[in-house]
Amino acid sequence: MKRFGKLSLLAVLALMMVVVAACGKKNETSPSPSASQAAAPASESPKASEPAPPADKKIVLGFAQVGAESGWRTANTKSIQESAAAAGIDLKFSDAQQKQENQIKAIRSYIQQKVDVIAFSPVVESGWDTVLKEAKDAGIPVILTDRAVDSKDTSLYRTFIGSDFVEEGRKAGQWLVEATKDAQGDVNIVQLEGTTGSAPANDRMAGFKEVIKDHPNLKIIASQTGDFTRAKGKEVMQAFLQAHKKIDVLYAHNDDMALGAIQAIEAAGLKPGVDIKIISVDGVHDGMQAASEGKINYIVECNPLLGPQLMDAVKDVLAGKEIPQRIVTKESAFTSEQAKEALPTRQY
Amino acid sequence: MKRLVRHHLFWPLAVWAALLLFNLLYSPDFFSIVVRNGHLYGSLIDILNFGAPLILVALGMTVVIATEGIDLSVGSVVAISGAMACLWISKGADQNSPGLAFAAIGLAVLLSLALGLWNGLLVSGAGIQPIIATLILMVAGRGIAQLITSGQIITISSKPYSYIGTGSLAALPFSIFVVAAMFGIAALLTRRTALGLFIESVGNNPRASRLIGIRSRVVLISVYVFSGLCAGIAGLILSSNVASADGNNAGLWYELDAILAVVIGGTSLNGGRFYLTGTVIGALIIQTLTTTIYVIGVPPEITLVVKAFVVLVVCLIQSETFRNKIAERWRTRHYPAEREVTRHA
């Protein structure tokens, strides 16, 4: 045993630091705009002197995508490609494979190619000032899609098109308030949060709480992160079911966690959607499938199909029109019945 | 009593017992096990079921660490094996056919054996440091898993396949039996044959082992292959448990939990000595801790801090040096004031 002594203690300490540091992983199944979206009105109006493209020349749009990490993202890419083709815009597309340096490289190459507009979904929130300044100096307008940057200088980009996660949380809360308005006594809610600290997790929780706080009978009795994954969602839900005898509602921050939790609920001999009402966010295919089977009662959509809105914004910017600093994606929500109807026509 | 305390399993078992005791005091229901739909249901069963993959991975890690190596690629192998099996099943015409599930399992197991062999060859053949050699597959493996799933989550609905992770045999989760079988094989091979001695010998001094006639290369390759196999089977259990494969997240950071389990179990990172039973208990401690955190409702923001604190305490208790220091201090009580008094007297 003597051999273990100090060396192994040191090794374990070092290891633990790695464990702790490594666990703060960035893993988002959904996009992550920041608080900076609540920005003040543009400090600078769009330059009127900007040359409008000649009518016979196609608009060239350079788009730097994050990657293809989820079904959501793939649908997002497809939407942009298809709507660019439909709008007659020449799309230059690059995939950054979740790396900021790749994205910066792509944006620089778009600047060199003198494209008309640059659009991109930032992988991370910070570190964009330099390259955005280069684009501004070159007179190329920039549009952010689905994730924001934390730059103080809002004149570096024209607009940010993306989902409003707080609103998604509010919608989930409103449905619950409506569904439980006749309920007698307390309604016990458990919550599966997204990756701790990520914008979708924070905002979806904030919106939900904001709505239910006026209804004292709606109580969140347990809340834990499920890291946006099915495996964690199942594990946490299973523990919730052991620890709490009466759970009425599950609110999951994305479909995957809800899908994992459904398995846990079924393993506990309960009926998901009946014994425990389930609310979820995203609207990916598997989630909609579960909703159409009645296992998820309400899905708030987080829409990846922002291509058409992006193309409109591109045209407006080039036409010299004033556009808002924040464009919220068109999003809806589905009950089980609506999901059944919508399922065959869903694109993702 | 002294012999009991000195036993290598004493402290891991004591820590585990303390954790369970805490749970019992906190919620008396913790130990309640009921029969539901023909199988047992309760927190303890959950711990065994969700802990199964970690135990498996940690078993493989134990023998690797015994040779003074380390296998960082296990998390990626977990993802690859689950992805491969689910891809194969999703391509099949009838997802519920047992033949298809067996083919998928066989394919995934073969693949993980090959990945283990790759690690073994890099370490013993090419002489690359284990931490670097397996780091290659840790990074590349995630990419391979995403390539297999094309970056999507593959959902399957195969009854025979989901039996591995969710089915039950004799009222207990099937995964427990898988773990028991692997543990039995590992224990038999290492403790009833000379293989265990060879592994410890290679871990102590590969050169001397070679000189006395042990084929250290073969031993090294076989421990990495075994680790790959364990990780592969863990991947099958994990993916079958949620009936889907997620190349991005499956088995993420598993290597770290596994190393932790091995160390808690009393195996030295310096190699040359290993305790399979200790590892199993180490893994159970980690899983019990995770479940405890969910049950008592620790806010997610501080979950990691709580975990780190418990792990720190566990490691301090495990450290003989630390225990001796405390004991010495307790016995002699050299307080400055006391010393002063003695000197003046």
Residue A260: pLDDT over 90:
yes
Q: How many domains does chain B have?
A: 1
Q: Please check whether residues A293 and A309 belong to one and the same domain.
A: no
Chain A residue at shortest CA distance from B31: A242
Residues A223 and A250 in one domain: yes
Q: Are residues A134 and A254 in the same domain?
A: no
Q: Are residues A110 and A172 in the same domain?
A: no
Residues A65 and A51 reside in one and the same domain:
yes
Q: Is the pLDDT of residue A110 over 80?
A: yes
Q: Are B255 and B43 in contact (CB under 8 A)?
A: no
Q: Which residues contact B325 (CB under 8 A, 6 or more apart)?
A: none
In a domain, B302, yes or no: no
pLDDT of residue A23: 44
Q: Which of A252, A260, A254, A250 has its CA nearest to residue A282?
A: A254
Give the mutation candidate from B249, B262, B288, B298 for the A interface (greatest A CB count, under 10 A). Answer: B249
DSSP string, B307-318: HHHHHHHHHHHH
Provide the pLDDT for residue A115: 93
Q: What is the pLDDT of residue B32?
A: 80
In angstroms, what CA-CA distances link A189 with A219, B258, B290? 6, 34, 21
The pLDDT of residue A27 is: 41
Chain A residues with CB under 8 Å of B242 CB are 230-231, 234, 259-260, 263
| 3-class DSSP state of A119 | strand
- pLDDT number for residue B71: 95
Give the residue with greater pLDDT, B326 vs A30.
B326
Domain assignment present for residue A287? The answer is yes
Structural domain contains residue A27: no
Q: Are residues A281 and A192 in the same domain?
A: yes
Q: What residue numbers bound the domain in which B147 lies? A: 2-297
Asked whether residue A199 falls in the same domain as residue A286, the answer is: yes
What tens digit of pLDDT does each residue of B27-80 get?
Answer: 888 888 888 777 788 888 889 999 999 999 999 999 999 999 999 999 999 999
Question: Per residue in A181-217, pLDDT tens?
Answer: 888 889 999 999 988 877 788 889 999 999 999 999 9
Judge whether B27 lies within some domain: yes
Residue A35 resides in a domain: no
- Tens of pLDDT, residue by residue over A269-283, are 899 999 999 999 988
CA-to-CA distance for A26 and B253, rounded, in angstroms? 12
Residues A94 and A211 occupy one common structural domain:
no
Q: Which residues pair with B40 in a beta bridge?
A: B35
Q: Answer yes or no: is A311 within a domain.
A: yes
In a domain, A239, yes or no: yes
Q: A9 vs A115, which has greater pLDDT? A: A115
Per residue in A49-83, pLDDT (tens digit) is 444 445 557 899 999 988 766 667 778 888 899 99
- For residue A11, being part of any structural domain is answered with no
**CATH number reported for the structural domain that contains residue A185 in this entry:** 3.40.50.2300
Is B344 among the domain residues?
A: no
In this model, does residue A154 exceed pLDDT 70? yes
Reply yes or no on whether the pLDDT at A14 is more than 80: no
Q: Does any domain span residue B332?
A: no
* A11 has a pLDDT exceeding 70: no
pLDDT, position B345:
58
Range of the domain at A269: 165-302
Enumerate residue ranges in chain B where pLDDT < 50: none
Number of domains into which chain A is organized: 2
Angle at the Cα of A25 (from A23 to A27), degrees rounded to 5?
140
pLDDT at A1: 43
> Is A9 among the domain residues?
no
Question: What pLDDT is recorded for position B334?
Answer: 61
Would residue A112 count as lying in a domain?
Answer: yes
Q: What is the pTM of this model?
A: 0.79
Q: Is residue A96 within 8 Å of A102, Cβ to Cβ? A: yes
**A197 and A256 co-located in one domain:** yes
- Which position has the higher pLDDT, A1 or A145? A145
CB atoms A12 and B263 under 8 Å: yes
- Which candidate from B46, B243, B315 shows the least CB-CB separation from A238? B46
A63, A158: one domain: yes
A53 and A117, same domain (yes or no): yes
Is pLDDT above 50 for A16? yes
At residue A326, the pLDDT reads 87
Contacts of A320 (CB under 8 A, 6+ apart): A46, A48, A50, A52
- Least trusted range by pLDDT, from A86-90, A152-156, B16-20: A152-156
In this predicted structure, the answer to whether residue A33 has a pLDDT above a threshold of 60 is no
Question: Could you tell me which chain B residue has the CA closest to the CA of A348?
Answer: B152
The reply to whether B41 touches chain A by the CB within 8 Å rule is: yes
Mean pLDDT for all residues in chain A: 82
Mark whether A84 and A148 lie in a shared domain: yes
Q: Does B224 fall in a domain?
A: yes
Q: pLDDT value at position A112? A: 93
Which residue from B41, B238, B320 is facing A5, i.e. has the nearest CB? Answer: B320
CATH number of the domain bearing residue B283: 1.10.3470
Q: What is the pLDDT of residues B199-246, one digit of tens each?
A: 999 999 888 998 999 998 999 999 999 999 999 999 999 999 999 898
